[in-house]
Amino acid sequence: MGEEGTGGTVHLLCLAASSGVPLFCRSSRGGAPARQQLPFSVIGSLNGVHMFGQNLEVQLSSARTENTTVVWKSFHDSITLIVLSSEVGISELRLERLLQMVFGAMVLLVGLEELTNIRNVERLKKDLRASYCLIDSFLGDSELIGDLTQCVDCVIPPEGSLLQISSYLYLNTALVDLPGVAASQACDSQQEALSGFAEAAGTTFVSLVVSGRVVAATEGWWRLGTPEAVLLPWLVGSLPPQTARDYPVYLPHGSPTVPHRLLTLTLLPSLELCLLCGPSPPLSQLYPQLLERWWQPLLDPLRACLPLGPRALPSGFPLHTDILGLLLLHLELKRCLFTVEPLGDKEPSPEQRRRLLRNFYTLVTSTHFPPEPGPPEKTEDEVYQAQLPRACYLVLGTEEPGTGVRLVALQLGLRRLLLLLSPQSPTHGLRSLATHTLHALTPLL
């Protein structure tokens, strides 16, 4: 039987498509890295059946046994990725997106040319070790969800901290005399303030990242394509803490063959300033001179961003007490808010809540709502459009009051909200609660 409620065991295989030579194998059990490796005979059989189908012009994409789900995917006729999961009920959609993110991580850190034109297998194996930390974070029990939603994980900082940051940065760039500007205008000008710092650093790509989630970013950073927009903050959150980094990266969508430099500067523990740039500026120009000039006076308001990592929302944001977790997606901007810690400790555990919301997301995405990210496709068939579902709910357990957690999904326009609710929440009030929550969250994302 498959493993239920633990995340199961996951094996990820990467092979050279032409030769079938294994490049790496990564595993996790119950969301934690595992040393358990598949026998070479099993790896050969899994790759062999996939190659046999290709020779017959049959595309083998997935298979299920009594206790395992297997998904295959080839990239550029050069790399074959195979994932096996023993988690009960895991969807093929989830595993397919996992493989897409894994290949994106490989391109991010090695470059597409090395993966599509393999000259030396042993050298490629060695180079791919740089991607293990990032890949392992996809296999583990991450607090992020961008790997599944293909949207950037974000947090919403307290309004007061944004005001102080915007005010200081504006004064530093002499763009406006803030004493004559209303507080609301200062908050609204946050993007321009970050752009001012980006200009001083000689780049258009700057972001503030806390625990792998984007707090604020320049317009240039937000325009990054998929998957790098998701991968870059995830990479920063997965690396061991360092005061400063100068990290070579490729952009899988924007620049898969020419490397860029990812510069990171730690402002506070788990809060990092990230810059994407070319050959200049040197890291020595940013640290410590430019860092101290721009950010040292802002450390106090920035501290308000530190607790946002797992919670995503400012402390005191009004949420119904029945809400155990939520996922809000903006399908056009490709950003999301994800938290399972909105109102303190309750059962089930945060790990179980994340798993429930992930599974519910794959269910509603694959069966009820239009594919995303991106707005629903337009069609001339107005009758069909009218029949697209706008809400659905699921009760795990019985529908009796006080038993079984509730899950509800609601889509209005370009936003989709998924809620995990306590057993005390009555089923007849789920849509109303979700609608009220979505309206409250709409100004934030």
Q: What pLDDT does 57 receive? A: 82
Measure the CA–CA gap between 272 and 430, rounded to whole angstroms: 38
Q: What local confidence, expressed as pLDDT, does residue 1 receive?
A: 33
Distance CA 392, CA 52 (A): 41
Q: Which residue do the tokens 């579902």 mark?
A: 389
3-state secondary structure of 362: helix
Q: What is the pLDDT of residue 307?
A: 78
Taking residue 135's Cβ as centre, other Cβ atoms within 10 Å add up to: 22
Paired strand residues for 27: 11, 34
| Residue-level pLDDT at 169 | 52
What is the C-alpha to C-alpha distance for residues 216 and 432, in angstroms, rounded to an integer? 31
What integer pLDDT is reported at residue 199 of this predicted model?
Answer: 81
Q: Give residue 311's identity as a one-letter amino acid code.
A: R
What was the pLDDT predicted at 101?
97
The pLDDT value given to residue 384: 47
For 86-134, give the DSSP string: -BTT--HHHHHHHHHHHHHHHHHHH-HHHHHS-S-HHHHHHHHGGGHHH
Whose tokens are 């949207």? That residue is: 151
Amino acid at position 212, single letter: G
Secondary structure (DSSP) of 189-224: THHHHHHHHHHHHT-SEEEEEETTEEEEE-HHHHT-
Distance (Å, rounded) from C-alpha 338 to C-alpha 325? 8
Tokens 């990820």, residue located: 12
Find where tokens 């337009």 sit. 378
CB count within 10 Å of CB 381 equals 8
Q: How many residues does the chain have?
A: 445
Predicted local confidence at residue 163, as pLDDT:
42
The pairing of strands 9-16 and 79-85 is antiparallel
Cis peptide bond N-terminal to 348, omega within 30: yes
Q: What is the pLDDT of residues 359-374, one digit of tens each?
A: 999 999 988 887 664 4
Question: Along the 445 residues of the chain, how does pLDDT read in single tens digits?
Answer: 344 445 689 999 999 998 899 999 999 987 777 777 888 889 889 989 888 888 888 888 999 998 999 999 999 999 999 999 998 889 999 999 999 999 999 999 999 999 999 999 999 999 999 999 999 999 988 899 999 999 999 998 876 445 445 545 555 554 333 333 333 343 334 555 577 778 878 888 999 999 999 998 988 999 999 999 999 999 999 999 999 999 999 999 999 999 999 999 888 888 899 999 999 888 888 877 777 777 777 777 778 788 777 788 887 788 899 999 999 999 999 999 999 987 666 778 888 999 999 999 999 998 888 766 444 445 444 444 556 788 999 998 766 666 788 999 999 999 999 999 998 888 889 999 999 999 999 998 8
